[in-house]
Structure 1
Amino acid sequence: MNKFVNDKLNETRNNLLKEITVLSDAQFNSKIDMNMWSIAQVCHHLVLVEEASLKAIAWGLNQVDSTQKERKKVQLILERTKKMKAPKIVEPDVEPFEIQQVIDLLNDSRKKIMNFLSTIKDKSILAEKSVMHPALGELPLDQWIEQIYLHELRHIEQIREIKLILDSKH
């Protein structure tokens, strides 16, 4: 994996942790609207997406006939005016979370994906194989990795908005 993507994964995760470590568990689990996720749920969704991405990449690497499809504009994930419905598999739990519990889940999912990626001897294969992505369509595996930090950036913005609304209510 190239240094840029590695740095972006680290940078976005550090920014996410900065956003949530200052919260109380009550703020973390507070919902501004019954139809919206709490910050805890947003973070749990990020864990689930990272775990699902790992499975998709692993599955894609094992496909014999998985040939590269066209490159996608994965930056579209950052376009927050377009609402995306999370697939059931990456919908967060409704139960409240403790911040440390979610930080542990985030650290665990990141460690798993980084360990897995470090086992891929020839990284160029990631650009040659692809797997269907629920929002982006057929996506080359290296772009699956890229969408992890872009997706996280999208949700960091959402978390910042939720925090502003929570602050204005107090």
Structure 2
Amino acid sequence: MNKLANDHLHETRNNLIKEISVLGDAQFNSKPDPNSWSIAQVCHHLVLVEEASIKAISWGLQDSASTQKERKNVHSILLNRTKKLKAPKIVEPDVKPFEIQQIIDLLSESRKKLMTFLSTIEDESLLEKKSMKHPAIGDLPLDQWIEQIYVHEQRHIEQIKELKAAL
């Protein structure tokens, strides 16, 4: 994986941990309204997205019919928070309350799985040559699946800041 993507993954995750580690568990699980997610649920969603992204990249690498698709501007799509995106069922968070440390551990575990998985890819050029369908973006080159992990996390960090301000 290229150093820039690695740096972005690391920096974004550190920013996320800083945002949530100052909260108490009650704030962490508080919802502004019944139809919204709590900060804990947003974080659990990020864990699920990271794990689902590993599966998607893995499937894309194994799919012999997978070919390069048009590159997308992942930043402009995901960071535009005026457009609400509906999370697919597979990445919807649990409704049960979470402890902050529990979520930090889950985030750490999912990131470790991602980094371990990426380190096993022998021919990284395949990440640019193959694509998989992303639920919000459409066909996406596999290297951009890595990019969408930290950009998606940045999107939700902004949401978390808004939720914290509303507490």
Q: Same fold (TM over 0.5)?
A: yes
After superposition, the C-alpha distances for 1:10-51 in whole angstroms (9 at most, x for unaligned) are 000000000000000000000011111000000000000000
After superposition, the C-alpha distances for 1:39-70 in whole angstroms (9 at most, x for unaligned) are 00000000000000000000100000101011
State the shift of 1:121 in Å. 1.6
TM-score by length of 1: 0.97
RMSD: 0.5
Q: Which moved more, 1:64-73 or 1:146-155?
A: 64-73
Identical-residue share of aligned pairs (%): 74
3-state SS of paired residue (2:143)? helix
After superposition, the C-alpha distances for 1:49-98 in whole angstroms (9 at most, x for unaligned) are 00000000001000001010110111110100000000000000000000
After superposition, the C-alpha distances for 1:97-131 in whole angstroms (9 at most, x for unaligned) are 00011001000000001000011122111000000
Tell me which stretches of 4 or more aligned residues in structure 1 moved more than 4 Å.
none
- 1:54-133 → structure 2 map (5 Å cutoff): 54-75=54-75, 76-133=77-134
State the shift of 1:157 in Å. 0.2
- 1:1-170 → structure 2 map (5 Å cutoff): 1-75=1-75, 76-166=77-167
Q: Gaps spanning 5+ residues in structure 1: where?
A: none
Aligned-partner Cα distance in 2 for 1:161–1:28: 13
3-state SS of paired residue (1:36)? coil
TM-score by length of 2: 0.99
Q: In the comparison of the two structures, how many residue pairs are matched?
A: 166
Q: Gaps spanning 5+ residues in structure 2: where?
A: none
